[in-house]
Amino acid sequence: MFIDKVNIFLTAGRGGEGCISFRREKYVPYGGPNGGNGGKGGDIYFEGDPEKTTLLDLSYKPKFNAKDGHKGLPNDKFGKYGQDLVIKVPLGTLVFKNGELFADIKNVGEKVLVVKGGRGGRGNASFKTGRHTAPRIAEKGEPGQTAEINLELRLIAEVGFVGFPNAGKSTLLSKISAARPKIADYPFTTLSPNLGVVDYKGIHFVAADIPGIIEGAHEGKGLGFEFLRHIRRTRVLLHIVDASGFDGNKNPYNNYKIINSELKKYSKYILKKQVLVVLNKIDLPYSDKHIKIFKKNLKDKKFFKISSLTGQGIDILLKEVVKILSKPIVFNPQEEIETIPIKKYIYETEFKISVDKNGVFVVTGSKVQTLTKMTKFNEDDSLRRYQNILKKMGLEFELETMGAKPGDTVKICDFEFTFEK
């Protein structure tokens, strides 16, 4: 499971108690105080770990404590320090402490102190004064600092893929890296980001394939903007377009404009990155026609024609990507702190079925509903495709299991269908 946001509580260790003790030596009648100080409580750190790619393990445990310091001892011995706690996080983790951005862990081994352990209490040796030579005073240890921490992961990839669902983003990633994301001919196959390391003639870079976005993503439609943060730190975006005409939609150029407008609503910086327009699926009929439309509208802007399936055109594309990556990084601090309203994404099963009082089978679930809202029922191919996807998801089987008979009514969103096999 991919978890990119967690909320945890940290408590650093409490300082150890100071000791009250007096010297006892032969022939020394009134030994002075010799109680040592308590040891300092353990600190808590976050450390960047390249092996980690998710915050999943932290999501199981809401509270983390470092060890308390040990008590001070007689003979002016200080108590041992409480052990520090080092929490490993993936590179690209933003740390918000009590609601404010506190650190941004980007490098391997980068370690930040988040809460400090308490000071050890002073033992009575520390309280000795000229007038008060035998104090029975010692302090308790200082409590460790506490903090509420929100961690937010923004994956670090040099190249990010954006585009409509089904454009072929995951297919491209699987073609150019060893990553094996799920690929299928229905929208929202990818539900969380996939990373892959690309090796182009000995030059390596990380590419991120994120779930598709749709019109209205800024209002939370589809998966909303939830995963866009993972392409915020990329240097190059590949805007992948299905040039063959997705979902009976005969206008890939329009899709391209929709994505651009959604990206602009997401962040004013994102389109300032290098964006390469990638027309995919050129092995399919109709792509020629759409490529011409792009050519006309993009004017001088360069675009790439590829087939993620056959591999055609990919070499030229990667060559350009590597060329851009070889230029120095221009860092924009404003972009990093631009805050983005995020709609919370809750994972759901693909669909749920219930039977209402009229015996109608009501199907819910964001995936089915999005698909239904995105399907043009007045087109035969779209309708057939819709039926196929539902069948593949197992909806027909599930309806039968729940006792649906031919002729029964099935409701999805505002649409009513008659169940048939």
Ligand X SMILES: Nc1nc2c(ncn2[C@@H]2O[C@H](COP(=O)(O)OP(=O)(O)OP(=O)(O)O)[C@@H](O)[C@H]2O)c(=O)[nH]1
Chain residues in the site for Mg ion (CB under 5 A): 170, 189-190
Distance CA 64, CA 83 (A): 13
Q: What is the DSSP string of 341-373?
A: ---------S-EEEE-TTS-EEEE-HHHHHHHH
Q: Does 120 bind ligand X (CB under 6 A)?
A: no
C-alpha distance across the termini of the chain, in Å: 35
- Say which entry of Mg ion, ligand X, none residue 184 contacts (CB below 5 to 8 A, set by partner kind): ligand X
Within 10 angstroms of residue 237's Cβ, the number of other Cβ atoms is 22
Counting Cβ atoms within 10 Å, is residue 372 exposed (0-12), middle (13-18) or buried (19+)? middle
Query: Segment 3-32, which members bind ligand X (CB under 6 A)?
Result: none
Residue 368 near residue 351, CB atoms below 8 Å: yes
- Regarding 227 and contact with ligand X (CB under 6 A), the answer is no
CB-nearer residue toward Mg ion: 43 or 209: 209
The residue (of 40 and 367) whose beta carbon lies closer to ligand X is 367
Binding mask 146-165 for ligand X (x = CB under 6 A): -----------------x-x
Say if residue 11 is exposed, middle or buried (CB neighbours under 10 Å; 0-12, 13-18, 19+).
Answer: buried
Which of these segments, 38-46, 183-191, 334-342, 346-354, binds ligand X (CB under 6 A)? 183-191
Contacts of 313 (CB under 8 A, 6+ apart): 282, 304, 305, 306, 307
Q: How far is the CA of 352 from the CAs of 273, 357, 384, 399, in angstroms?
A: 40, 17, 22, 10
185 sits near ligand X (criterion: CB under 6 A): yes
User: Please, which residues have CB within 8 angstroms of residue 173's CB and are 6 or more apart in sequence?
Assistant: 161, 179, 181, 194, 196, 207, 209
Q: SS3 of 205, please? A: strand
Judged by CB under 6 A, which stretch of 10-18, 116-124, 181-189, 382-390 contacts ligand X?
181-189
For residues 8 and 290, what is the distance between their CA atoms, to the nearest angstrom?
A: 50
Nearest to 19 by CA among 111, 139, 108, 116: 139
| Residue 187 binds: one of Mg ion, ligand X, none (C-beta under 5 to 8 A by kind) | ligand X
Closest CB 252 distance from Mg ion, rounded Å: 17
> Could you say which residues in the range 123-142 bind ligand X, by CB under 6 A?
none
Tell whether residue 281 is a contact of ligand X (CB under 6 A).
yes
* Residue (126 or 370) nearer to ligand X, CB: 370
User: Rounded distance, CA 224 to CA 212, Å?
Assistant: 9
Distance (Å, whole) CA 167 – CA 385: 16
413 in contact with ligand X (CB under 6 A):
no
Smallest gap from Cβ 371 to ligand X, in A, equals 11
Pick between residue 191 and residue 325 the one whose CB is nearest to Mg ion: 191
Q: Assess 166 for contact with ligand X (CB under 6 A).
A: yes
CA distance 273 to 38: 54
In the list ligand X, Mg ion, none, the entry touching 3 (Cβ below 5 to 8 angstroms by class) is none
Alpha-helical segments (H) within 244-283? 252-266
Interacting residues of 38 by C-beta distance below 8 A, sequence separation 6+:
15, 16, 17, 18, 19, 69, 70, 71, 72, 78, 79, 120, 121, 122, 123, 139, 140, 141
User: Which CB atom, from 46 or from 161, has the smaller least distance to Mg ion?
Assistant: 161
User: In the complex, what is the shortest distance from the CB of residue 281 to ligand X, in angstroms, rounded to a whole number?
Assistant: 4
Residue closer to ligand X by CB (options 103, 309) is 309
Find which of ligand X, Mg ion, none residue 253 binds, CB within 5 to 8 Å per kind: none
Residue with Cβ nearer Mg ion (37 or 280): 280
Which of Mg ion, ligand X, none does residue 309 bind to, with CB < 5 to 8 Å depending on kind?
A: ligand X
- Please state the closest distance from residue 209 (CB atom) to Mg ion, in A: 6
Binding of residue 308 to ligand X (CB under 6 A): yes
Q: Which strand (E) or helix (H) includes residue 200?
A: strand 194-200
- When CB distances are held under 5 to 8 angstroms depending on the partner's kind, the choice from ligand X, Mg ion, none that residue 166 binds is ligand X
Which is closer to ligand X, CB of 44 or CB of 173? 173
Choose the stretch contacting ligand X; rule: CB under 6 A; options: 14-22, 70-78, 144-152, 188-196: 188-196
126, 171, 177, 255: which one contacts ligand X (CB under 6 A)?
171
Within its chain, how far is the Cα of 288 from the centroid?
A: 37
Q: Which of ligand X, Mg ion, none interacts with 193 (beta carbon under 5 to 8 A by kind)? A: none
Report the interface residues with ligand X, using CB under 6 A.
163, 165-171, 183-185, 187-190, 211-212, 280-281, 283-284, 307-309
